[in-house]
Structure 1
Amino acid sequence: MASLTADAVVCAVRAHGEHGAILRALTREAGLIAGYVRGGRSRRLRPILVPGNLVALELRARTEDQLGGATVELQESRAPLFAEPLAAAAIDWATSLTAGTLPENQLYPALYDALSAVLDAIGVAPSARQWAAALARYELLLLAELGFGLNLEECVVTGSSNDLAFVSPKSGGAVSIGAAYGYEERLFRLPAFLRGEDSNPAMSDVLDALAITGHFLDRDVLDGRNRDLLTVRQRLLDRLGRAVA
């Protein structure tokens, strides 16, 4: 019998049968896993099986290919954050993106740490700007972990690491000010914080970063599939836009 005991971030929950639920959760030890939670739709378990919550998970299956039975105990509840529409939209997007794009049972420890950091930031950051920047970095990391990393370290045209200010929507490579001359309107603006050069980015920089990651998520990861995820993301962007209007 295959088994796993680990802390896990709840990413998606789907009703199964009259009383049960299929849980998808991200763990540091085993990546994204799925399991059947008996009584998962009960009054006791519904508040635990909330996307974004941290749970102590125990998963048991007879074979590696069988959907295992899961039991959960609440470690940290993020359910109160859903009372705030902007925070709710951010948690919905971060967890939906994770559940909808990562293959199951593959290790992504860096993504687990980054997702946990994003969710922590949503709970404690004094403004949306701080956690939205962390979310943009999470999206950038997810692209890299899935094999679609962007080259933001050197100019895709000249090879220089100086004066990088734009990103090519075709290559995903950085472009220097000089190489971009005359083509600026066709390129994304590169916020310095995506390169670790600004610890306190403005919201305009964060929105520029989300435009970059959103473009490559749509083109390379979603690629015509999971289109409903883009609706979830757009809802978040709309609320971020209203928050800074």
Structure 2
Amino acid sequence: MEWRDQGILLSSRRHGETSAIIEVFTPSRGRHAGIVRGGTSRKISPILQPGAQLDLSWRARLEDHIGAFTVEPVRSRAAIAMGGRLTLAGLNAVTGLIRFCLPEREAHLPLYRRTETLLDLLGQDDIWPLAYLKWELSLLEELGYGLDLGACAVTGATEGLIYVSPKSGRAVSREGAGEWADRLLPLPDVLRGVGPAGDAEIAQGLKTTGYFLHTRLAGDAASKPLPEARARFIDAFNRSI
């Protein structure tokens, strides 16, 4: 069994004395693990940094085996990622959420393309938080939990939408919220792609997407909490505002 593809390195860990086990995110194979022989060597280990774009060849005797990767660098994002606290935290949040959310060996091509585009924006702190927020929305949609923000779930109105129902993920207007307003999540205009995207609104949007990531994907926080890398990114972003 053999295939070749390009992908994003999510993680790398030592395996034995000289090898490494890596996880990658690829367009056609999704999240996939494998062994890199000699992965701890001076030649290969600098390549195996999270966020790196790699050319990958995978081979195994049987399809369900972990298999072995041969890797060639396409481009590194390590230097950019180390350029600032927010940038590094953002990269770790993206790779951590992909490892957390996606089942192994299941293709998610639209999300892959969005992820590659997002990581290519690393270091551009003026636009990256908004791009990251949109990426979280696309992650929820890709996994079947997309938010419906076009009209009020109660009245059908398309104006005055300022809340999101935590139960349905649908927009709610001020009028439709009534006495339940204090139980609803914020719906800043930025989540609907309307108006200027100020940092305060982005922070509100991340609070809302974070709720659905937690309740829809994490489930019981005691047994499967969201990656701490996301919380560290949110903290770094809030401190930068």
Q: What band does the TM-score fall into relative to the shorter chain?
A: over 0.9
Query: TM-score normalized by structure 1?
Result: 0.91
Give the Å deviation of 1:143. Answer: 1.4
1:22-171 equivalence runs, <5 A: 22-80=21-79, 81-123=81-123, 125-127=124-126, 130-171=127-168
Q: Which of 172, 193, 210 in structure 2 is aligned with 1:214?
A: 210
Give the Å deviation of 1:228. Answer: 6.1
- Can you give the 5+ residue segments of structure 2 that lack an aligned partner in the other structure? none
Q: Secondary structure at the match of 2:11?
A: strand
Deviation digits for residues 188-225 of structure 1, max 9, x if unmatched?
A: 22122322324x40001111111011111111111234
Q: How many residues align?
A: 238
CA distance in 2, matches of 1:227, 1:47: 30
Give the Å deviation of 1:161. Answer: 2.8
CA distance in 1, matches of 2:105, 2:144: 17
CA distance in 1, matches of 2:83, 2:13: 21
- 8 A Cα contact 2:100 2:226, kept in partner: no
Deviation digits for residues 34-93 of structure 1, max 9, x if unmatched?
A: 111111122222221111111111111222111111011111111012241111110011
CA distance in 1, matches of 2:157, 2:41: 58
CA distance in 1, matches of 2:31, 2:75: 19
Q: Secondary structure at the match of 2:151?
A: strand
- 8 A Cα contact 2:31 2:105, kept in partner: yes
Quote the residue 1:196 is aligned against. 193
CA distance in 2, matches of 1:44, 1:177: 59
The alpha-carbon distance between structure 1 residues 228 and 216, as it changes in their structure 2 partners (threshold 3 A), is closer
CA distance in 2, matches of 1:206, 1:142: 16
Give the Å deviation of 1:33. Answer: 1.2
Give the Å deviation of 1:103. Answer: 0.6
Q: Secondary structure at the match of 1:72?
A: strand
Q: Sequence identity, in percent?
A: 38
- Can you give the 5+ residue segments of structure 1 that lack an aligned partner in the other structure? none
Q: Secondary structure at the match of 2:120?
A: helix
Quote the residue 1:232 is aligned against. 229
Quote the residue 2:239 is aligned against. 242
- 8 A Cα contact 1:154 1:174, kept in partner: yes
Give the Å deviation of 1:126. Answer: 5.0
- The more displaced of 65-74 and 184-193 is 184-193
- The more displaced of 181-190 and 47-56 is 181-190
- 8 A Cα contact 2:87 2:125, kept in partner: no
**What root-mean-square deviation, in Å, do the aligned CA atoms of Structure 1 and Structure 2 show?**
1.6
